[in-house]
Structures are given as C-alpha cells and as structure tokens.
C-alpha cells in the first residue's frame, strides 16, 4: 500500500426498499484515486457478485419453514 493510503476508512451500508425488493448502497470513504482504489472497487464488486450468486441459489432452495409446516 502506498503511504498516501488512509489507515482508517468508514464503510456505510444502507438497505432500502425499492419496487418490492431490497436495494443495498455501500459507501466506502476515503478512497484516494489510483491503482489501490481500483483494486478496492474490484474487491467490492467481486464480493457483491458472490453475494448475488449465493442469494440466487437460496431463492431456488426449498424453505425449511415450509417443509417443517408440511410435516406431520
């Protein structure tokens, strides 16, 4: 890391409802310009891609609550 890279950062995550779905807004600051910023943004994008993949898999998995309710 360059000496200009901050030693502390504030990451704020906000969840809001939008058209019946949940919107997630992530704010990370400070993020100084340069290669390290690009790598940081790439890391967040990869994390969100993995989250989207996980949520898509979970959406197709049978609900354990529904399965329990159907049991005698």
Q: Can you give the pLDDT at residue 3?
A: 86
Q: Can you give the pLDDT at residue 13?
A: 97
* pTM, to two decimals: 0.72
Domain residue ranges of the chain, discontinuous segments joined by +: 32-59
Q: What would the DSSP string read from start to end of 3-61?
A: TTS-S--EEEEEEEEETTEEEEEEEEE---SSHHHHHHHHHHHHHHHHHHHHHHHHHTS
Q: Can you give the pLDDT at residue 61?
A: 87
pLDDT one-digit tens code per residue, 40-69: 999 999 999 999 999 999 988 887 765 555
Q: Can you give the pLDDT at residue 1?
A: 81
**Looking at per-residue confidence, does 9 or 68 come out higher?**
9
> What are the C-alpha distances in Å from 57 to residues 53, 60, 70?
6, 5, 22
């Amino acid at each position: 890391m360059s000496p200009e890279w901050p030693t502390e950062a504030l990451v704020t995550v906000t969840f809001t409802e939008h058209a019946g779905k949940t919107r997630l807004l992530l704010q990370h600051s400070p993020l100084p310009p340069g290669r390290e910023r690009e790598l940081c943004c790439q890391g967040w994008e990869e994390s969100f891609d993995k989250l989207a993949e996980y949520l898509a898999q979970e959406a197709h998995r049978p609900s354990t609550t529904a399965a329990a309710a159907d049991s005698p």
